[in-house]
A and B are shown apart, each in its own frame.
Chain A
């Protein structure tokens, strides 16, 4: 019966660090986060990774709702919030409390941008995520719409997904065109969010390694005073075994 420990309006009180990336599909944010994870892990940090819309509990429902196209802007928004709440409780909160670095591919800002474009009240969706904690660092990978489209069509996926392209909104019969209109509106929302919440804007048209260098520099500075907690048996097994070594007999 205690009031919520964390709110979106203030920094969280936990020893861990929460770093998140945002951006439209095709902005390259997931690639950047993956590279950041490699680097942090190599440096010896305990890193935990979580991504948007991935909890067991909701995934099946979202899939079903998307398949029979029965999702409304509000149920779409609520399902993603449920997924988020579930991951916050199971995936994000424990490692943060344990002092780990948590990397999140998309965060509440994705909902602020997308759901507003789909037509729910922007004020409502912000209150909806009132239980979330403010990340320590939030990167926004800004990219022009055409660059994103070329990356998606030329890349590994080569096809848009129905809801990603905003096909549920009846913007256009043509998927690429629908994607263009829908994502352009999301870009406008992101611009508002960036100034509202002070996200760090990254130029996502730069070369991958160039962006990653910038990102690593910023993260280094932010983690300067952060003391990573070691796990009980550390990274080097020898430490663990030495403790239980039988004393040499005299």
Chain B
């Protein structure tokens, strides 16, 4: 007997979850931990096996991406607007990408999920209940893989690659005198909260300090059981995606 798909909280009364036969896999972890690289590799791996894959990423909705950019230019300060903007973006993607894709039997790889919003809001407010109520309409994923890293390793990695930016350093919170101090404090708090949620929501934890091949291997091991036993049906890649802009283009070889 399979577990029925569930909402995180109050749910969407007008959507029927029973028809969602695809698989929803969320990759969580803090900024700069390598989520998107691994999602690209997972997509390739799954498509080679013949699974239809749709990817979706935080703040990438048609409706909200521009608005969030604008907000980040410095037009908002308060915790509620912040979290509500993310929630609106998420809802748009949930209803226009994730649910239709699951209905058609796709595997959905989500780059970040509601837990990112939980961690960010908690760090800013010290309150866990409102943000969790807010995301009550979210569908609980079949699997959450948490790329775990310690803040020292993360700081080095981020400096070596793209550098530290204002938001990833939580500069709006004024936690430290400069970008580096603030980054370490802010990301440290986020990681602490992710670690707590990992237990509460039983994330599959993957050590993100290891070399990329090993991380990828670990992720695939976590995902495999889902493919064999679960509801994932073969939706051959290339038969058309319900989502226009993220329709699975053949992976560049």
Do A and B make up one complex?
yes
Listed in ascending order, the chain A residues whose CB lies under 8 Å from chain B are: 1-4, 56-58, 60-61, 64-65, 70-75, 78-79, 81-82, 85-86, 88-89, 119-121, 123-124, 127-128, 130-131
CB distance from B176 to the nearest CB of A (A): 15
B127 engages A75 (CB within 8 Å):
no
Measured between beta carbons, the chain A residues less than 8 angstroms from B91 are 72, 74-75, 78
Cβ of A185 to closest chain B Cβ, rounded Å: 14
B167 at interface (Cβ–Cβ under 8 A)? no
Would B130 and A131 count as touching, CB distance under 8 A?
Answer: yes
Q: Which 4 A-B pairs have the closest CB atoms?
A: A124-B10, A85-B80, A127-B133, A1-B126
Q: Note all chain A residues with C-beta closer than 8 A to B126.
A: 1-3
In chain B, what residue has the closest Cβ to A81? B84
Judge whether B234 is part of the interface by a CB distance below 8 angstroms. no
Is B159 close to A, CB under 8 A?
no
- A4 interface neighbour in B62, B85, B130, B133, Cβ under 8 Å: B130
B22 to chain A, nearest CB (A): 19
* Segment at the interface with A among B23-31, B42-50, B63-71: B63-71
Query: What are 21 A-B pairs at a CB distance below 8 A?
Result: A1-B125, A57-B76, A61-B64, A61-B66, A70-B92, A71-B63, A75-B88, A75-B91, A79-B88, A81-B84, A85-B84, A89-B76, A121-B136, A123-B10, A124-B10, A124-B11, A127-B130, A127-B133, A127-B134, A128-B133, A131-B130
Given A64-B63, A89-B81, 6 further pairs, Cβ under 8 A: A56-B75, A75-B95, A89-B76, A119-B12, A127-B134, A128-B133
Q: Are A82 and B88 in contact (CB under 8 A)?
A: yes
- Bound-state CA distance A51–B75 (Å) is 19
How far is it, in angstroms, between the C-alpha of A78 and the C-alpha of B76 when the chains are bound? 16
Give CA–CA (A26, B87) in the complex, Å.
32
Task: List B residues 1-27 near A (Cβ within 8 Å).
Answer: 9-14
Docked pose: A72 CA to B63 CA in angstroms: 11
Chain A residue at minimal CB-CB distance from B136: A124
With a cutoff of 8 Å between Cβ atoms, the chain A residues found around residue B14 in the complex are: 73, 119-120
Partner of B62, one of A56, A70, A120: A70
Return chain A residues, CB-CB under 8 Å to B75. Answer: 56-57
Q: Could you say which of B11, B12, B63, B134 contacts A61, with CB atoms under 8 Å apart?
A: B63
Contact B13 A120 (CB under 8 A): yes
Chain A residue with the shortest CB-CB distance to B132:
A127
Q: How far is the CA of A2 from the CA of B91 in the complex (A)?
A: 28
Does B186 sit at the interface, judged by CB under 8 A? Answer: no
Which residue of chain A lies nearest to B82 when distances are taken between CB atoms in the complex?
Answer: A85
Closest chain B residue to A128, Cβ basis: B134
Name the interface residues of B207-224: CB closer than 8 Å to any CB of A: none
Closest to A131 in B: B80
B160 within 8 A of A: no
Q: Do A78 and B88 contact each other (CB < 8 Å), given the known contacts A119-B14, A131-B130?
A: yes
**Minimum CB–CB distance for B219 against chain A, Å:** 30
Q: Which B residues are CB-close (under 8 A) to A78?
A: 84, 87-88, 91
B12 touches A120 (CB 8 A): yes
Partner of A57, one of B13, B71, B87, B130: B71
CA distance A56 to B125 in the complex (A): 24
Report chain B residues within 8 Å CB of A86: 76, 78, 81
